[in-house]
Each structure stands twice: as C-alpha cells, then as structure tokens.
Structure 1
C-alpha cells in the first residue's frame, strides 16, 4: 500500500503512523480528468466576439481609409432596432417588435428570437459589404443592451445575429459556412 511514514516519536515504543496516499491520488486523478473534459467542451462551443477599439491618430497605413457600415442591434424592453451606421452617420434604421419563443430540450428552456434572426439575415443580404466567398473579412455588428438585461435575452440576441451565415473560401479551395458578422458588445 502506498503511504508516507512520518517517523516515530520520542516515546519508548515507536509508533508507525502511515498516511494512506491512495485516496489522495484518486482525488487528484478525478480532478485532472474533470478539468481536461471541461476544457474540451468549453472550446467546442466558442463564438467569435471581439472588442473594437478606435485606432489612434497617426497610425499610418494601418488606419482604415473609410468607415465601413456597421449593423447596430439595440435590444430594448419591447422592440429591436436594427441600424446601419457608417461612423456616426445613420444610413438606415428598422424597428421590429420583440417577439420571443421558448424552446426546450431535456427539461431546459431557452429564449429564441426568430423574427430578429430573419430581419438580420435580410438586412445583411441588403446592405452587407462582405458577401463574396473569397472575401476573408466579416461585417461588423454591435449589440447594444442595458446593464440589467437578462443573460438569456443577450444569448438569444447573439444567436439571432449569428444566424446570418455566409460561405467563405479557404486557402485549399474548400468552402465553409461561417457567421456573416463579427459581434461586439455595448452596454448602457
């Protein structure tokens, strides 16, 4: 049996006090297995989201020469507002009612916004700049929410933005389907 002898004492009769290491090793192995499995599942369900930081003045050739159109999705209490903006200039705006459905699986329910997903798809078809399969860039979307917006509504809005898909050609000539938008958050 694996153990650690912690030595005797100064008494007349030495006592052998072994600490059993087998339960400790078992606990360590279970913990490592749990961490490895969790890391694998977390990376499989990843969504590309980034924080767009304005460029500094005098950044040279790396500065964008034009303001690309950005889709701003405002998540309000009872409406959605889809607004295309080029910098600070409002190009178009579309309001739609906030209608959700509950979907369930294995006793869990989630909110979905199918009307928002359809509206975002049609807006991207109408005004999206990066639609060619050889174009490696994605259009930008900004999700505006209040600080108190429930997490389930934010996830449902992100799923609706992610529903707009397009084809992208890879370097080896194959094609994959990717999200049409790179999403950024803005909380108010």
Structure 2
C-alpha cells in the first residue's frame, strides 16, 4: 500500500512509498498479450502466403474472360415500370390503375436469359410513391434471378 509519512514534526519532510506491484502486473500482462498476438499474425501470413504463391500445376496461363458491364436499372414511376438494360428501354404501363407485375416478370426473365451471369440491378422509385411500390419492384427482381439489388437514392428522370 502507498504510505505517506510526514515525519511527525512540523517540518516539511514527506516520504512517499509507491506500490509498483500492480504496475508490474499490468506490464507483464501487456507484454504477454503482444507476444501472443504477434505469433498469430505471423502464422496467418504464412498460411496466406503458401496458398497464393503455390506452384502452378499447369503450364498454361489461365486468363479469365473479360466481363462486360451492362447497366441494368428498374425505374418505378407513378404510371409505369421502366426497365433499362444497356441502351434498350422497355416501358410497362399500368393496367387498370395497377402495376403490371406479370409483364414485368416476363421482361425480367427475358433479360436473365440474355445475360445469365448478371446478378446486379439498380432500382429507382419516384419520391411520391409509397414504400410498398419499391418492395414490389425488388420482389420482381429477386424472383427473376437478380439477388444483388441496389437502390438509387436520387430519382432518375
């Protein structure tokens, strides 16, 4: 324990004993922790290095096919769905005041047949439309095989 001795006199001499045991305990724990974590980071680097820099079994260099990015967007407007794939624009107007989801699914499945590797899509919704309209478009995209859906934060004209 820390002890302060004022000497019993009215003099100004003060002796203080500081207990260093807790400080030494803290430092020993920190040193051990740093040593252990340094060992584990080294082991993980060795594992990664052996898998990345392993020997090649084939003499041919495998070149991945270049992927062409095709923009794909579903715009939900107050009066229609608009599907933009590449430079092609498909308009699907409302039928009797309801969105034509059957035709939308048909068009989206055609797009999936043309671009089977495509998984991403962007959805934009007019600001005045309710949230359930966004969900309607997202459900159609998921059902058609486009699981990676992004939502445009600004309304597209």
Q: What TM-score do you get using the length of structure 2 for normalisation?
A: 0.48
Higher relative contact order (CA 8 A, sep 6+): 1
Choose between structure 1 and 2: higher helix proportion.
Answer: 2
- Structure with a larger share of its residues in strand: 1
Structure whose alpha-carbon radius of gyration is higher: 2
